[in-house]
Structure 1
Amino acid sequence: MPTHRVGTQEEFEAARQQLLVEEKELTRRGDELARKRRELPWVPVEKDYRFETEGGTKSLADLFDGRSQLLIYHFMFGPPYEAGCPVCSSIADTLAPNVIHLKARDVTLICSSRAPIDKLLAYRERMGWSFDWVSAGGSDFHRDLGLQYTEEELRPFLDGDIPPAVNQMAKLSGTDVLGYVTEGPGMSAYALSDGSVHRTYVTTARGLEPAMAYYGLLDRTPLGRHEDGEEIHWLRRHDEYGKT
């Protein structure tokens, strides 16, 4: 534990009250951004995407499962992977318990990956999750959202210095770097209105942090995320912590 400024309870309370003003401002700003997010124009989904599911082939509209809203987490698990991305797996740990609560608010939450459905379901069983998981490997669904890349597009990255964490995650996923980074994580939202599906929101990268609850908790600890300077990512699948 690094050394840190030590003060009195009175000094803490005064500094905490100053910080609280900024925290409240951030909360209000977050509410405003949420409103603007809801006001984005809806885009009709005109492609006839098809997904392989535990219950057979389904359309995008079928995935709503009787509700009017659909959230899809685009899980990095490509066709050559032997296991899901560890970071996406940590996100799925957070998503899984929320499925029942979102259903109560007319929202269906699922995951979508490009690996074959049998491989996805086997991994889901290993991880102990119960959410619906679909395979989009036979369509351009992920590609059309900007979450799947070609080797040509990735060439500048592949020809550079590959970060150690990327090599690490590729190995942990049972594939090479190209196979790993061909996939991208993301979340997309949809509305079903008068029988038509509309895309309402898409995000990736740090836009996914609301689904990474552990970061919000770490941000409130004495050391925070404590990731600066680390070349190897600390995240593991929940059944792999403690393994070398």
Structure 2
Amino acid sequence: MPDSSQTSLASFIDHTLLRPDATVSDIEKLCAEAIKHNFKAVCVHGSYLPLAQSLLQGTPVLLAVVCGFPLGATPAAVKAFEAETYLKQGAAELDIVVNLGWIKSAHWEKIGEELLLLRAIAPEASLKLILETAYLERDEIIRCCELAAEHGWNFVKTSTGFGHGGATLKDVRLMKEIVGNQVQVKASGGIRDLETARAFIAAGASRIGTSSGLKIIMAEQSEASN
């Protein structure tokens, strides 16, 4: 994981806009900011994927899209269709919500089958499993992390930002403890300032999902100039 004390936080940030009322001009602005400030990725809804792809083409900014969002309750076949569609349209990363009802029902075999299916559909893409940790017990978080590692996923992610709670340092530390260097950790949900972003990176996150990326980078640049 990069050292955030030596590397701009822009390289950690998924510049995110998932508001249901986001407009075309909002997405255009998001992508322009990502290019200008060298954010790691842009994360959008699938309906805006073609637009974002056209704006980011030829730049180093990665394009991420959410699947099964925000509840994770759609059938595996529907998530698979989403994933295939988005990959064909140029997505490099897929942020996919796990089925929370299956977790609470201890249907670990079904979850494993879904993760295996999606990994097979997207062998080259970066897959991020959104756990929505605010709803989960410690042992449930651990099992989800284990399954993500077993099935070759690239990230485990804390939250959608639409649940009743976002990322916590406690959960990120636990997730990092379980996956080690095999899988990366993305902290998302409620990260809105420079100090908080740095704390999550120190806790083990290698990616930060936030709609406050511009505010965070402006604060970092202001600090560096003083």
**Higher helix proportion (structure 1 or 2):** 2
Which of 1 and 2 has higher RCO (CA within 8 Å, sep 6+)?
A: 1
